[in-house]
Amino acid sequence: MVKDPKANHLDISVIVPLFNEEESLPKLYEWIERVMKENKFSYEVIFVNDGSTDKSWDVIKSLTAEGGLVKGICFRRNYGKSAALYCGFKAAKGDVVITMDADLQDSPDEIPELYRMITEDGYDLVSGWKQKRYDNKFTKNLPSKLFNATARRVTGIQLHDMNCGLKAYRQDVVKNIEVFSEMHRYIPYLAKNAGFTKIGEKVVQHRKREFGTSKFGINRFVNGYLDLMTLWFLNKFGKQPMHFFGLVGSLMFFIGFIAVIVVGGMKWYALAHGVRAMLVGTNPYFHIAILMMILGCMLFLAGFLAELMIRNSPSRNDYLIREEI
């Protein structure tokens, strides 16, 4: 008997990372299930329990017992949203992967249109835009606007809400990007760097939180900025670090070297004309110049060592191939 290659085919995988959301999980799943049945989608729901200390995992186990459409992944401790998405992406089997938060602030009613934008409009990734928000204006809305303006400037991706938890992906995208540290904020940028450039946006409904409190503090904006700078640097110089460290180091060494010559020349000129001048060793400009030369050498050496590490890395020739003929 020949096995049907589409027997395990799924239209959609819904990934829900969560931490202490026991009250909202049953209602969220019922909502997702209703939307899927109304639109006749084949689907799976993957709940990733990020080390919850409440009864979230017990709720997930009760949902998995109801049928084969629910899968659960449980971490031993809290690792963060990026780790949860990474494991969810690995487990996903659907042609289109939808991510949403577990706090009921993301509406499953958005799923059919997100699916259509991926499958019919040809987008690689569609990010939600919560145009009208119900968060606190000063602690979330204003910092979020500044954060997104900076992200648009640095990444070149014109999204109004890059960190929106409600997103849709073509399966190829989630299988070819690696979400690590706290980089879940910049998944569109990771996708763009991997060659998935057709990135769209959809205005989505933002709902008030029904249960519990937000798990993210104000420090996420500071961490987000640092993570953005890390991604920008890795994208620009990750494969060729010598182009950054070598250039900056050479410039610093050259400027310091010229400064030493100028200080020495000024001393020689003073001696030649019988003018009293301070000792070179007591001249502060001389010490600054020497410091620049030393720092320049260290930066150049850092770039050289980084190049050696990359040359011996097993992933130095990892390239994403779209198709072969």
pLDDT digits (tens, 9 = 90+) for 72-87: 999 999 998 999 999 9
pLDDT higher than 60, residue 136? no
The pairing of strands 70-74 and 167-170 is unpaired
CA distance 117 to 125: 9
pLDDT band, residue 234 (cuts 50/70/90): confident
Q: Report long-range pairs for 242-246 (Cβ below 8 Å, ≥24 apart).
A: 242/303, 242/304, 242/306, 242/307, 243/303, 244/303, 245/299, 245/300, 245/302, 245/303, 245/304, 245/306, 246/299, 246/300, 246/303, 246/304
Q: Which is nearest to 124 in space by CA: 178, 192, 179?
A: 192
Give me the DSSP letters along 154-171.
HH----S-TT-S-EEEEH
Cα–Cα dist 211/28, whole Å: 12
pLDDT tens-place string over residues 194-228: 899 999 999 998 877 666 666 555 666 677 777 77
Closest to 85 (Cα-Cα) out of 47, 32, 59, 43: 47
Tokens 């995988």: give the residue.
Answer: 13
Rounded percentage of the chain residues whose pLDDT exceeds 90: 48
Q: What is the pLDDT of residue 238?
A: 73
Two tokens, residue 189: 């940028």
Phi (first) and psi of residue 322, to 5 degrees? -75, -45
107 contacts: CB under 8 Å, gap ≥ 6 = 166, 204, 205, 207
Q: pLDDT tens-digit profile of 31-47?
A: 999 999 999 999 999 99
Say if strands 43-49 and 96-99 run parallel, antiparallel, or are unpaired: unpaired
Strand partners, 44: 13
pLDDT for 1 equals 36
CA pair distance 201, 125, nearest whole angstrom: 8
How far apart are alpha carbons 54 and 152 in whole angstroms?
37
Place of tokens 């620009």: 236
Q: Which two tokens stand for residue 246?
A: 């070598």
Strand order in the sheet with 12-18: 70-74, 43-49, 12-18, 96-99, 167-170, 125-129, 199-203
Q: Name the DSSP letter for residue 190.
A: H
pLDDT of residue 88: 95
Question: How many Å separate Cα 324 from the centre of its chain?
Answer: 29
Rounded Cα gap, residues 12 and 137, in angstroms: 34
What pLDDT shows up at residue 3?
A: 38
Whether residue 91 contacts residue 71, with contact meaning beta carbons closer than 8 Å, is answered with: yes
